[in-house]
Amino acid sequence: MKRLKDLKDNGDKAFVAYIMAGDGGLDKLRGQVEYLQKTGVTAIEIGIPFSDPVADGPVIEEAGNRALAEGVTLDKVLLEMKSWDFKIKIPLIVMTYLNPVISYGAERFAESCREAGVSAVIIPDLPFEHQQLVGPYLKKTGVTLIQLVTLTTTENRLEDILDAAEGFVYAVTVTGITGVRDEMTQEVQEFMKTVRSKSPVPVYAGFGISKTEHIEMLRDDVDGFIVGSAIVKAFHDNKIEDIDPLIHAVTQRNPV
Amino acid sequence: MTKVKICGLQEAEHAKAASAADAAGFVFAPSRRRVTVEQAARLAAELPESVVKIGVFVNAELDEVLEAVRKVPLTMVQLHGDETDEFIRSIPVEVIQAFSVRDIEDVKKLEQSIADYVLVDAPGIDFRGGSGRIFDWGLLKGASIDPERLIVAGGLDAVNVGQAIGSLAPYMVDVSSGVETEGKKDADKIKSFIKTVKGDSMQQATGTENVTGFFGRFGGQFVPETLMKAVKELEAAYAEAKDDADFQADYHKYLKEYVGREQPLTYAARLTEAWGGPKVYLKREDLNHTGAHKINNAIGQALLAIRMGKRKIVAETGAGQHGVATATICALLDLECVIFMGEEDIRRQQLNVFRMKLLGAKVESVTKGSATLKDAVNEALRYWVTNVEDTHYLIGSALGPHPFPTMVRDFQSVIGRETRGQILGKEGRLPDVILACVGGGSNAIGMFHPFVGDESVRLIGVEAAGEGVDTARHAATLTKGTEGVLHGAYMKLLQDENGQVQEAHSISAGLDYPGVGPEHVHLEDIGRVEYKAVTDEEALASVITLSRLEGIIPALESAHAVAEAEKTAAAMGSDEILIICVSGRGDKDMATYAEKLEGLA
């Protein structure tokens, strides 16, 4: 995760790609990770399918349902990642809802993450107040628990959350669920500026980032972007190369 | 371990500080600590159900005592005057008889008491009752009194209480002036006194219990960050509204004038005769406007939403009863209303769907997952996440992130409070068994809550066993589920070994949910409430039973409670009393009854 800090210090922007593990079969995951790494993404967020993904919009929910129908589980994804023998040069982040972690056992989860080469974990329904359930185990195995902040995060909580932040801060750009959107408001820009001025670690914008216009608008106020639904959709439609311009719009220093 | 009673409470702040005690006392006799029945009821509402609520009287009329028992409600009565044995026997709850001990003659009187407990105190000065003076503990040495019946009062404080416990090993210690500063209760002194008596073991025993929003280990606020602000705002707004007499008066006005409360506790003569066991009473939530208990909660939350400046409401519904209740109250109060309902439930509950539309609500069909209640909650939560700034999520059961489980319970507790007063009025005593059906568990928690402290009352929650708890098609979460997080709370779930939540099944759309409210899980965990499961078939049979014997066609959900009641009644005697909460009427289920019961009927 140190490279994320270095990137920021160099003035470069990060691109974090989200994929749903096992959408189209778990055997596809390796190829997807290799492809994204080759294309130059900064980090990859690997989503674990869940039966009740209340923070996700329809694109990711449907991808999750397809993965569940393939029999994909948290356990299988971590085992698959552990088996990889190709060179992984970028941080891999697991995003999962809390219940599969509780079911798996928080301590065992932290251990398996370490074994699978997972750098960080995002749990969208584990608020800051309840992080004791999982946080201490992850800390023991050296896996970072990523903090989320949103437009509705109150000032006091924002300070507490940012104080505890490691790796990067996931700043949710919309009041809503994940998904492809048309507009980004002034309010989002102001929010990003505030978070970035207070955060000890890089701040990445996520939820609803799908167009180069979104990136142009927020570029100066964030350290990176997280793109989910657009990538999940592109993989599903076998048109992942359509995403290349979006990735390059972020990672190239002087986008054309 | 010695129990602690904090006596003479007058302020909400002190009641809160006393919530870790075992008992709280309200003084109705002339005293500077005197409270009215209404004040005591409000203070009692601040205290956990497990805290015994004791009313203190001196030579009061029996009616006055009974009224307080019913209205606060009190779980114990403490008498300081010259009350007769007959008077003591007329009180339907446990009785403490207090004695001012000056000499050995007083000790002899105390030994003769027929009360459940005896309280010893130093003689009073101005008024009878506690004086705050230490009496001579030596007088009690050698008295033939069972320490398990003994309560010690009189000048105790955090400093000398250890000595009292050491020399007398009483059942309970009672403190009043010892936790006051300049004649007023002092929250810090109350806490310090409790801690002194209970020591560190209290902290161990309570664990997360005192953490806001948890019932034992269950509950919490497991929601996406976007919702945290709304959940915290709701928590603060409800805490404020709960203590606001105007808000409570408004809420009760609607219950009375609009819902038609209070609802009768009907003696079921033919059911009693047919089952040949206990006297059976039915709590008639089916008589509420809109046909079920759901409206009790919908009104409370809608008033709270308005108080918070939110005029848009989103809700989920299973059987459609909560959706109808919400649509109804939104029509009445001119609020915008969106209801999410599973496609499968829409099919099963056509009539309710039309009612909601007629009332002006927008009904959104949910086709995802099993297309039932769980999926409707998911969609309602997503809608809330997206529209959180101006929308209130009016959740329909004792589920979801804190403060929902507590708030829904409080709004539904009117069921149990009325029942308690009614049965005391009719039978002069508490019932032996109370049954209620459990999906998310709102009618059950509302019925049970005011009785949780009454150990003599057996509480039974009835889940849906669907086609059988050993098949894959049931909704018996407490019977077969495992711990996990769904829809904002740590509770019990039907889930597979990978933590994926499974589909529930029940013929009753209102019980068709794979989770159960966190307070129920806690009550099961501590063994206070039993949970049983009843199959679709058994429930349908009970629909016929109640219809034919009592002329009451119950909702399918309520029929589950009736079915289990029949089994429970078989092992009970004719001197016992059983109460069933009839949570709703069967109008909405007519299509199902026509289809399933055509042959049987």
Q: Sort out which chain B residues have CB atoms less than 8 A from A55's CB and list them.
A: 224, 226, 385
Neighbouring-strand partners of residue A170 = A148, A204
pLDDT of B155 reads 78
| pLDDT class of A40 with cuts at 50, 70, 90 | very high
Whole-angstrom CA distances from A169 to A96, A151, A164 are: 16, 13, 10
Q: Tell me how far apart the alpha carbons of residues A117 and A81 are, in angstroms, rounded to a whole number.
A: 7
pLDDT of A180 reads 61
pLDDT of B203 reads 34
Omega cis (within 30) before B576: no
Q: What is the DSSP letter of B115?
A: S
Task: List the one residue out of B408, B437, B579, B446 whose CA is nearest residue B510.
Answer: B437
Instruction: Point out the residue among B223, B388, B495 whose CB comes nearest to the CB of A103.
Output: B495
Question: B386 at the A interface (CB within 8 A)?
Answer: yes
pLDDT of B207 reads 36
* Contact between A149 and B225 using a beta-carbon 8 Å cutoff: yes
B18, amino acid identity:
A
Q: Sort out which chain B residues have CB atoms less than 8 A from A52's CB and list them.
A: 369, 374, 378, 486-487, 501
Predicted ipTM? 0.93
Q: Sort out which chain A residues have CB atoms less than 8 A from B501's CB and list them.
A: 51-52, 99
Indicate which residue of A6, A23, A56, A107 is catalytic: A56
Instruction: Return the active site residues of B.
Output: 294, 316, 583
Question: B368 at the A interface (CB within 8 A)?
Answer: yes
Question: B127 at the A interface (CB within 8 A)?
Answer: no
Instruction: Point out the residue among B226, B488, B495 whose CB comes nearest to the CB of A175.
Output: B226
- Name the E strands within chain A: 14-20, 43-47, 92-95, 120-122, 144-145, 147-149, 169-172, 203-206, 224-227
How confident is the model over B135-141, as a mean pLDDT?
68
Which residues lie below 8 Å from residue A197, measured CB to CB, with a gap of 6+? none
How confident is the model over B501-515, as a mean pLDDT?
91
Contact B283, B581 (CB under 8 A): yes
How confident is the model over B278-302, as a mean pLDDT?
97
Q: Which residue of A has its CA nearest to B374?
A: A52
Q: How many Cβ pairs within 8 Å bridge chains A and B? A: 110
For an interface test with A, which of B226, B316, B368 has the most A Cβ atoms less than 10 Å from its Cβ? B226
Name the pairing type of β-strands B279-284 and B265-267. Answer: antiparallel
Contact B422, B308 (CB under 8 A): no
- Encode pLDDT of A172-202 as tens digits: 987 666 666 556 677 888 899 999 999 999 9
How confident is the model over A204-219, as a mean pLDDT?
87
Phi, psi (5° rounding) for residue B212? -55, 135
How confident is the model over B417-429, as a mean pLDDT?
93
Question: A149 at the B interface (CB within 8 A)?
Answer: yes
Token readout for A85 is: 């023998």
Q: Tell me how far apart the alpha carbons of residues B549 and B572 are, in angstroms, rounded to a whole number.
A: 20
**First and final C-alpha spacing in chain B:** 57
Contact A25, A70 (CB under 8 A): yes
Q: Sort out which chain B residues have CB atoms less than 8 A from A157's CB and list them.
A: 228
pLDDT of A20 reads 98
Closest approach of chain A CAs to the CA of B311, in angstroms? 18
| Higher per-residue pLDDT: B21 or B553 | B553
Instruction: Point out the residue among A51, A104, A150 whose CB comes nearest to the CB of B226.
Output: A150
Task: List the one residue out of B491, B515, B492, B488 whose CA is nearest residue B228.
Answer: B488
Q: How many CB atoms within 10 Å of residue B160?
A: 12
* Contact between B495 and A157 using a beta-carbon 8 Å cutoff: no
Closest approach of chain B CAs to the CA of A44, in angstroms? 21
Instruction: Point out the residue among B225, B368, B501 whose CB comes nearest to the CB of A153.
Output: B225
For an interface test with B, which of A61, A74, A95, A99 has the most B Cβ atoms less than 10 Å from its Cβ? A99
- Encode pLDDT of B373-396 as tens digits: 899 999 999 899 888 889 999 999
Instruction: Work out the mean pLDDT of chain B and round it to a whole number.
Output: 90
Question: A54 at the B interface (CB within 8 A)?
Answer: yes
- Encode pLDDT of B516-558 as tens digits: 999 999 999 999 999 999 999 999 999 999 999 999 999 999 9
For an interface test with A, which of B223, B231, B486, B500 has the most A Cβ atoms less than 10 Å from its Cβ? B500
Q: Which residue of B has its CA nearest to A49?
A: B500
| Higher per-residue pLDDT: A8 or A97 | A97
Closest approach of chain B CAs to the CA of A38, in angstroms? 32
Residue B256 CB-half CA count within 13 A:
7
How confident is the model over B229-254, as a mean pLDDT?
93
Q: Which residue of A has its CA nearest to B233?
A: A154
pLDDT of B333 reads 98
For an interface test with B, which of A70, A97, A132, A152 has the most B Cβ atoms less than 10 Å from its Cβ? A152
Q: Sort out which chain A residues have CB atoms less than 8 A from B229's CB and list them.
A: 152-154
**First and final C-alpha spacing in chain A:** 29
Name the pairing type of β-strands B218-222 and B214-215. Answer: antiparallel
Indicate which residue of A6, A9, A45, A80 is catalytic: A45
Question: A181 at the B interface (CB within 8 A)?
Answer: no
- Give the predicted TM-score (pTM) of the model: 0.78
3-state secondary structure of A215: helix
| pLDDT class of B449 with cuts at 50, 70, 90 | very high
* Contact between B499 and A100 using a beta-carbon 8 Å cutoff: yes
Question: A103 at the B interface (CB within 8 A)?
Answer: yes
pLDDT of A256 reads 44
* Contact between B500 and A68 using a beta-carbon 8 Å cutoff: yes
| pLDDT class of B209 with cuts at 50, 70, 90 | very low
**Which of 487-506 (B) contact A at CB < 8 A?**
487-488, 493, 495, 497-502
Q: Sort out which chain A residues have CB atoms less than 8 A from B515's CB and list them.
A: none
Token readout for A2 is: 């140190």
| pLDDT class of A143 with cuts at 50, 70, 90 | very high
pLDDT of A181 reads 59
Q: How many CB atoms within 10 Å of residue B382?
A: 22
For an interface test with A, which of B223, B483, B498 has the most A Cβ atoms less than 10 Å from its Cβ? B498
Residue for token digits 């056509």? B350
Token readout for A136 is: 């201490």
Percent of chain B residues topping a pLDDT of 90: 70
Contact B224, A124 (CB under 8 A): yes
* Contact between A175 and B386 using a beta-carbon 8 Å cutoff: yes
